[in-house]
Structures are given as C-alpha cells and as structure tokens.
C-alpha cells in the first residue's frame, strides 16, 4: 500500500473559550491549541506542529479562528471537519478545512482580523448569555459612543490601548472599520484592523464605554491615543464579551466575512476608511 500523502491544511474553528486558558499551549493548562493538536494526533498518529492565527486569551471566544498544519493522511479536506469533530469536545468545532500552499502560515500570512465585543445592558445580569457578553448595566449614550468611532480609524500608535506584557515589536496598527449595533438588550461593537495589540480590543471597548457613560468625551479619544498613556484610556473589559469573528488572507482561504444583517428597528452605525 502506498504511503499516505502529506497534506498542508488550514482549519476554520469555532470555540467557546470559557473553559480554556486561551489558545496557546501552556503547561498543565487546558488550551485550544493543545486540544485541537491532540485531536489531529488521534486521527493521524503524528505529533504535528499547529500554528494559530491569534493567541486569544483565557475566556475569549472565536467564530472564525484559523490554524494551519501538515500531516500524512488519506482524509480528504472536506472530511476533516467531520473527522475532527468526532473526537473533539463540545466546546470546539471545526467548521471547514482547506488545502493551502506548503509555505502557508496561519499567523504570518494573516492580513487582518475582525473582532466583536458584546455587552448586555439590562440591570439584571444574564444567565444563559453570561459566557458570551459583559454585563454593563446603566444608561449608555450610544450616540456619543458612535461619535467617537471615526476618531479611531486609520494608522496610528495604539500604545495607550495596550496592556503591559505585549510581545509586539511595534504598537503601530491600522483600524479600517468599526460598526456598532444595538439589538434588544445587546450592544455589539465590531472592529476590523490589520492587527491587534495585547488586550487592545478590550481596552478600546472600555474606552468607548467610558464615553457612553459620560466619563470621557469623544473629543478626548484622539488625545488619549496620542498620549500613549495606558492610564488615560478606559478599563480592560472582561474576556467573555470578546470574540474573534474572521481572519483575512490574500487570497482568501475560507471566503469573505459574512457581516451581520441589519434588522428592522435596529440601531446601527458603521464607519470605515475610504
């Protein structure tokens, strides 16, 4: 029988980060990378190297996480999701698999990411949705929050929106688009950028919420960013509200991002670079 062919694959994975200590493998911790790698080893018998597009933190979720690896297997790409999901735990699901060039690297080749952050507004805390949103009771001025969105667009130094401990060589990043949707008890912020710093999305959300709560003005947003001073920005929001929605590649590996469709009666603001 001929040897099994070597495949070079990318996986599109959804996971509930509540019971994980983040994506990256850590000693004596349950991580997404370790669980997914072990599932691949169960199917192939190989100790493969699995590269992830992003090192999501403990408690952070993903709908569109991409990872890449190579292995010798006769499983055809379209059957990999079914095979992996048969051995993965319920809080991880492989949505799709695709053949990629040998040199493809899910982290290095990423051209941008889209994250969302979801907030629960009512006074009573949520029960069913407690793992996928942050509880922020009280009045929020969404018009003021929306007014600050354009001030975040473009390429700039986002050091003020980065917590200590970032391994990034530079704090320069480009935010290409932001969208704010109010849907019933939920408010969701979507941000598209060429990359994100350590806790950047959670601090960005916390700073916008400070505007919505009247603790900061929209005009102060530019000054905060230009200061480079983390102490002037808003708080780091809890991880459960954060979700990695989509990773962009050129050419696309798993197609374009499917944006949320605006429903009748929803409040929706969208700003983007021209």
Q: Give the lowest-confidence range in 54-58, 93-97, 109-113.
A: 54-58
Locate 61 and state its tokens.
């979720």
Check residue 168 and give its pLDDT: 80
Over residues 226-255, the pLDDT tens digits come to: 999 999 999 999 999 999 999 999 999 999
- For residue 120, give every residue at least 6 positions away whose Cβ sits within 8 Å of its Cβ, in sequence order, or none: 126, 129, 133, 134, 135, 136, 185, 186
Active site residue 57: yes
Angstrom distance (rounded) from CA 119 to CA 205: 10
- 1.10.760.10, 3.30.70.580, 3.40.50.300, 1.10.10.10: CATH of 6-99: 3.30.70.580
Residue linked to tokens 């959670």: 202
Question: pTM score, two decimals?
Answer: 0.95
pLDDT at 116 over 50: yes
Give the chain's mean pLDDT. Answer: 95
Q: State the CB neighbour count (10 A cutoff) for residue 128.
A: 6
Taking CA atoms, 10 is separated from 4, 78, 130, 195, in Å, by 18, 11, 31, 20
Q: How confident is the model at residue 1 (pLDDT cuts 50, 70, 90)?
A: very low
- Domain ranges within the chain, ordered by starting residue: 6-99, 112-272
**What b-and-e string marks burial along 150-180, b requiring 16 or more CB atoms within 10 Å of the CB?**
ebbbeebebbbbbeeeeeeeebebebbbbbb
Angstrom distance (rounded) from CA 60 to CA 237: 11
Long-range contact pairs involving 257-263 (C-beta distance under 8 Å, separation at least 24): 257/64, 257/114, 259/179, 260/181, 260/188, 260/190, 262/181, 263/183
Over residues 166-217, the pLDDT tens digits come to: 778 899 999 999 999 999 999 999 999 999 999 999 999 999 999 999 999 9
Nearest Cα neighbor of 61 from 19, 120, 16 is 16
% of the chain residues with pLDDT over 70: 99
Catalytic residue selected from 3, 16, 47, 57: 57
97 touches 253 (CB < 8 A): no
More confident position, 208 or 265: 208
Does 3.40.1110.10 match the CATH number of domain 112-272? no
Whether residue 251 is preceded by a cis peptide bond, meaning omega within 30 degrees of 0, is: yes
């Amino acid at each position: 029988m001929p040897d099994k062919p070597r495949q070079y694959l990318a996986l599109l994975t959804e996971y509930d980060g509540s019971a994980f200590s983040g994506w990256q493998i850590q000693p004596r911790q349950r991580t997404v990378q370790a669980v997914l790698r072990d599932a691949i080893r169960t199917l192939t018998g190989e100790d493969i190297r699995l590269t992830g597009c992003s090192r999501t933190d403990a408690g952070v979720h993903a709908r569109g996480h991409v990872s890449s690896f190579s292995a010798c297997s006769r499983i055809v790409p379209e059957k990999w999701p079914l095979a992996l999901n048969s051995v993965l735990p319920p809080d991880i699901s492989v949505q799709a698999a695709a053949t990629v060039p040998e040199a493809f690297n899910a982290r290095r080749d990423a051209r941008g990411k889209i994250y969302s952050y979801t907030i629960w507004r009512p006074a009573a805390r949520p029960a069913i949705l407690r793992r996928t949103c942050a509880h922020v009771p009280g009045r929020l001025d969404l018009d003021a929050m929306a007014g600050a969105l354009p001030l975040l667009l473009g390429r700039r130094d986002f050091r003020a929106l980065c917590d200590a401990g970032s391994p990034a060589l530079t704090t320069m990043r480009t935010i290409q688009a932001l969208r704010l949707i109010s849907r019933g008890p939920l408010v969701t912020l979507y941000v598209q950028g060429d990359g994100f710093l350590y806790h950047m999305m959670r601090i960005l959300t916390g700073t916008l919420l400070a505007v919505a709560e009247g603790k900061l003005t929209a005009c102060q947003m530019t000054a905060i960013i230009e200061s480079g001073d983390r102490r002037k920005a808003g708080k780091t929001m809890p991880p459960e509200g954060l979700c990695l929605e989509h990773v962009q590649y050129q050419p696309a590996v798993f197609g374009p991002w499917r944006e949320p469709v605006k429903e009748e009666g929803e409040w929706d603001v969208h700003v983007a670079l021209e």
